[in-house]
Amino acid sequence: MAGEVLAHLLEFQPSAPEVQQKREYDAAARQFVAKVSNISHPHFLKGAETSGDVLEILHPESNSIAYIFALHARISALSDAKFQKGIPDQLRPGGYIWNKVENFMQNFDPVQVRYVGQEWRRLMDYLERVARLMGSPGVAISPIRSGLLRLDPLSGTFTLTHLYFIRLCMETRSYTAALPILDNYISSLPSTLPAAILQGMEYSSPSANHVVSGEYIHAKSGHTDKITMADVQEYYVLGAMAYLGLSQFNKAKQFLEHALVAPANNVANGLMLEAYKKWVLLSCLVDGTIKGLPRTANTAAIKQIRTSSKAYEALADAYTQLRNLPKLKAQINAGKDLWAEDGNTGLVKELLEQQQKLYISWLSRTYSAIPVTNFAGNLGLTKDELTGKLEELINKGQLNATIQRSGAGDILRFFLDPTQGPLAKTETQQQQALYEQTQRTNLLAEQVKSADYRLSLTKEYIEHIKRQNKKMAANASGEPMDTTWDDGMEAEEDLMGDLH
């Protein structure tokens, strides 16, 4: 390893006093990236696997930019991009390079990596591709997840990596592993930001302290390829299925709604249909009945979907008929093939289970105490089966009641006061929940602000403002206000000139 090259690689020091200003940091980082990307691969390979190895000398956190280029040089030296000749040992999971990549994903400096988006994405692709080719996609889940979270602790900007990640999780049925990503709300999509604000500005350069990642992960930052509608929707549908696998029905339902509100030119696509079918069933499981779809959904598209999911709506209708419990069973049997074909059999079965629970909670709205024998027949269970079931529900914390054993038979007694019984929440718990909700809302407000900001930078918005101002000027003509508005407008135009 030539000392000169090494000196180059260590040139950029994020903690150096001269780059403490964000603007200087930005300029230095850009320069450095340009420089390092021009270093040819053989330089990185010198002294590989000796004590002079670049990967040993450089530190993944403080020299993230240099490190990522070094990793790429090593990978491409060992194999071609498509791994046609098979995967060398070093690149396999557990191999030297793989471990280095994994380590890098956990430790890189998030600010530096904002400047090398493309390289970051290529590393992610490498992890995914190798894991797949090795036939064990599961091994890539953890490093990809740490990569995503390291870059953006809220993983709130959608990238294709999100989609690949959730695909991997679904294929390996590692639903719990997907949660750290799924639980983060996608608050922005990579958008096209004007180049002017990305460079050399103290508060909007990638190196600035951003709350929302949408300001440094964008269409040109290289962190993701071009995203299509289907990608986003697929992410939400798969995410919903992961939640389903964990029986988190409410979250699953909310995810499906994200897929359903997608702007549509009066047509629906297959993913929306898929989402709607599941949504109908989930709506029953969560709310006990079909509540309205979010109002922002495109009505024409939803109409289209609904005509082709009549069977599901019939099922939901049967579900709510608590006075006629056998109807649901009959409906389920009638559409058996359909559920199986749509891959919803499990969910439909769950519906049958949940209906009993719904029935019992419905009883709690009418009775405070009722002998178990009174309604065992309605549910088609024997007295003992029902008692067992009720106990299970109570123990799981899904039913706020107790079972009283008496000589005449068992009695189900509901707790009328919400502050009593096994499900009761104390005031502190409630306060805690409210506090957490406040936190979430505040964060959301930040995200909205950022979305608003990004939106205000689009061409369309500026044209809209221009039109508005013209209108205002026309309306206020003759008054002293007139001139001031004109001034404002010219300023806007100047800004436009800078941007484009």
Partner 1 sequence: MAANVESSPFFQSQRAKGCIVVKDPPKFDLESYISNYDGQTRLDRLYHIGASSTYLAVDAYRMAIKEAKKGKDTKLYLALVEDFANIAPQDPLALTDMSWVERKNREVKEEQDKLEHELKSYKNNLIKESIRMGNEDLGHFYYAIGDLSNAHKAYYRMREHCTSNKHLTDMSLRLVYVSIAQKAWMGAQSHLAKIDAAGKGDDKTKLEPIVSAVLGLTHMGAGNLREAANSFIGTSPNYLSLEATAGIVWQREVVSGNDIAVYGGLCALATMERSELQQFVLANSDFRNFLELEPHIRRAITLFCNSKYSACLEVLEGYRTDYLLDVYLSRVLATIYSRIRTKSIVQYFIPFSCVTLDEMATKFQLTGEYGSIEEELEDMINSRILDARIDLVDRLLISPPTNPRYSVHADALHMAEDYDHTLRLRLTRLNLLSAGLEVRAEKGQGKESSGGLQEGLSASLRGFGSRMGF
The Cα 119–Cα 133 span in angstroms is: 21
**Cα(493)–Cα(486) distance, rounded to whole angstroms?**
11
Per-residue contact flags (x/-) with partner 1 for residues 66 to 105, judged by CB under 8 A:
----------------------------------------
Judged by CB under 8 A, the stretch of 27-35, 59-67, 194-202, 365-373 that binds partner 1 is 365-373
Question: Nearest approach, Cβ of 164 to partner 1 (angstroms)?
Answer: 15
Out of 296, 321, 382, 468, which residue is the one contacting partner 1 (CB under 8 A)?
296
- Using the rule CB under 8 A, give the single segment among 199-207, 224-232, 312-320, 481-489 that binds partner 1: 224-232
**Residues from 396 through 425 that contact partner 1 (CB under 8 A):** 411, 413-414, 416-419
Compute the distance between CA of residue 121 and CA of residue 148 in angstroms, rounded to an integer. Answer: 10
Q: Which stretch binds partner 1 (CB under 8 A): 6-14, 84-92, 115-123, 438-446?
A: 438-446
Per CB under 8 A, the list member of 265, 337, 407, 478 interacting with partner 1 is 265
Per CB under 8 A, which region of 8-16, 125-133, 144-152, 253-261 contacts partner 1?
253-261
Instruction: Report the residue count for the chain.
Output: 500
Told to check if 304 binds partner 1 by CB under 8 A, we report yes
Nearer to partner 1, 83 or 362 (CB): 362
442-471: contacts with partner 1 (CB under 8 A): 444, 447-448, 451, 454-455, 458
- Are the C-beta atoms of residues 60 and 110 closer than 8 Å to each other? no
Q: Euclidean distance between the first and final Cα of the chain, in Å?
A: 44
Closer to partner 1 by CB, 65 or 256: give it: 256
The span from the CA of 454 to the CA of 457, in Å, is 5
Nearest to partner 1 of 104, 279 (CB atom): 279
Residue 336: exposed, middle, or buried by beta-carbon count in 10 A (0-12, 13-18, 19+)?
A: exposed
Judged by beta carbon, residue 66 or residue 168, the one nearer partner 1 is 168
Among 70, 71, 168, 272, binds partner 1 (CB under 8 A): 272
Q: Which stretch binds partner 1 (CB under 8 A): 126-134, 258-266, 379-387, 484-492?
A: 258-266
Q: What is the DSSP letter of 292?
A: P
DSSP 74-138: HHHHHS-TT-TT---GGGSTTSHHHHHHHHHHHH--HHHHTT-HHHHHHHHHHHHHHHHHTT-GG
As measured in angstroms, the least distance from the Cβ of 368 to partner 1 is 4
Residue 349 interacts with partner 1 (CB under 8 A)? yes
Report, in Å, the least distance between residue 253 CB and partner 1: 10
Residue 478 CB, nearest distance to partner 1 (Å)?
A: 37
Place of tokens 């959608």: 158
User: Which residues between 119 and 138 bind partner 1 (CB under 8 A)?
Assistant: none
Instruction: State which of residues 176, 289, 299, 374 lies at the interface with partner 1 (CB under 8 A).
Output: 374
Q: How far apart are CA 155 and CA 184, in angstroms?
A: 6
Report the alpha-carbon distance of residue 223 to residue 114 in Å, rounded: 8
**SS3 category, 336:** helix
Say if CB 243 and CB 277 are below 8 A apart: no
Q: Which of 112, 36, 29, 98 is nearest to 70 (CA)?
A: 36
Residue written as token pair 């079918």: 277
Report, in Å, the least distance between residue 148 CB and partner 1.
18
* Nearest distance from C-beta of residue 278 to partner 1, angstroms: 8
Buried b (16+ CB within 10 A) or exposed e, 48-67: beeeebbbebbebbbbbbbb
Q: How far is the CB of 135 from partner 1 (least distance, A)?
A: 18
Question: Per-residue contact track with partner 1, 174 to 193, x per CB under 8 A?
Answer: -----------xxxxxxx--
Instruction: Identify which range of 32-40, 226-234, 312-320, 328-336 contacts partner 1 by CB under 8 A.
Output: 226-234
Residue 188 main-chain phi, psi, to 5 deg: -155, 160
